[in-house]
Structure 1
């Protein structure tokens, strides 16, 4: 557990790192620990050449038992202000963090977010997070920076005029996380679509990127709810106009033919380009400089079928 006592697994990782020739800083980074913790652990237990994980774990446990004062009577179970077992709460926070780590959240960011969620206080300072999680200020700062970038945590100044900032979870944190994920999927789709157009979707590489683009676009559409009804209607009208014209048209030409403002045409073209699965079986295609036409979705017809239909 980062910030707490080294576990047997941590010590096995330290021994493996030393055997592999890793420096103390590299071992600390892999375990998400301060370098000073790793250097003290190795120095106390035989040094870099004599360090043995099993021996170090046994020796540390023995030292802890010797330093612990003998209890004269059974101590009452610790409870918090709400009658809960603080140790059980801490263990849940670590399980909560581990679940987030499994989804790709950095470990320290996950621990900070889990602690903010399980704290009764509406906000915590960096100093409080350092004390509760037993990690360095640098670790907390890096974790908070990540959580702010993905819009899961925000900071506020001390309302009492103090110099410490408070970190708290936004009320709509999971809605923001959902939107962030939808935007990320849309970016994946757009990048893959550019690759498919560059490599040509009729080639194996281009087809692979086209399939990737469609997959992430579908995820983004599902998460964002797809286009609004009015925008969808405009997009379908523009596609119908291009199909009826049977030739490439620019946005101004479409605006003149449909008697729409140019910005409405531009918005409709953007919707049609973004929501390809929604416009299926038609898909918008750039035909020339600033001109567009329509085509059948590439996943509807195989190359053989296309050739046969043109024969």
Structure 2
């Protein structure tokens, strides 16, 4: 596996990989580099949405001449190695970027717990922004709230039950859509093109979601197995 600094050609391949929506791990495999190298390179040079290989190469050369150290990972997290890629996956799945950052920061914290003040300080965003992100995560079952009675503040928690809760909440929302389609099919008439289309789609979604809920219940004990 090659060592040393990334070459300009490698940076161009990183940019091509990002344009092709490859994961950091896939890009790393193409270059025979550690995923952590790719993650740090992209995070240090504008992130996946603004990465430019020529600019990154020049910036690295300038840092090398100045002897500028790489900032260490923020205290209290699992480090910067996997954070960025997990955030990008969450964003591609539909989460707003700040909501994804809050969720991943909680997931990677030692005990899965943060206060609003800690999230604000760590992510360098406003308290209002953290509040919006956390409310969305709580509403969708990714996070739960606990109250600290002594300090009169909320604590946001990610625990094993959150995985189950998020699946159930999302499934129930989709089940509502499926049953709305079935009701629409009845209203339109099952002998009409619209009615048949809605009936087929609603039945498909309903069956898939009921299977998902059954599977979530069946495999829920995995979440309580000792680690």
Answer whether TM exceeds 0.5 for this pair: yes
Mark the structure with the bigger radius of gyration.
1
Q: Does residue 122 of structure 2 align to residue 132 of structure 1? A: yes
Q: State the TM-score, normalized to the length of structure 2.
A: 0.61
Q: Distance in 2 between matches of 1:141 and 1:128?
A: 12
Give the secondary structure class of the aligned counterpart of 2:125.
coil
Q: 1:171 to 1:78 in 2, by over 3 A?
A: same
1:112-170 Cα offsets, whole Å, 9 max, x none, are 111101011341111111121122212111100101111211121225x1133211114
Q: Distance in 2 between matches of 1:78 and 1:123?
A: 22
Gaps of 5+ in 1: 13-52, 227-311
Gaps of 5+ in 2: 1-42, 216-227
Q: State the TM-score, normalized to the length of structure 1.
A: 0.46
Residues matched between the structures, number: 172
Match of 1:107 in 2: 97
1:260-299 Cα offsets, whole Å, 9 max, x none, are xxxxxxxxxxxxxxxxxxxxxxxxxxxxxxxxxxxxxxxx
Aligned-CA RMSD value: 3.9
Q: Does residue 178 of structure 2 align to residue 178 of structure 1? A: no
Q: Distance in 2 between matches of 1:143 and 1:5?
A: 24
How many angstroms does 1:78 deviate by? Answer: 5.6
1:77-120 Cα offsets, whole Å, 9 max, x none, are 968999xxx7x722412211221222222221111111101011
How many angstroms does 1:11 deviate by? Answer: 6.6
Match of 1:199 in 2: 188
> Paired residue for 1:208, among 186, 191, 197?
197
How many angstroms does 1:216 deviate by? Answer: 0.8
Q: Distance in 2 between matches of 1:103 and 1:122?
A: 22
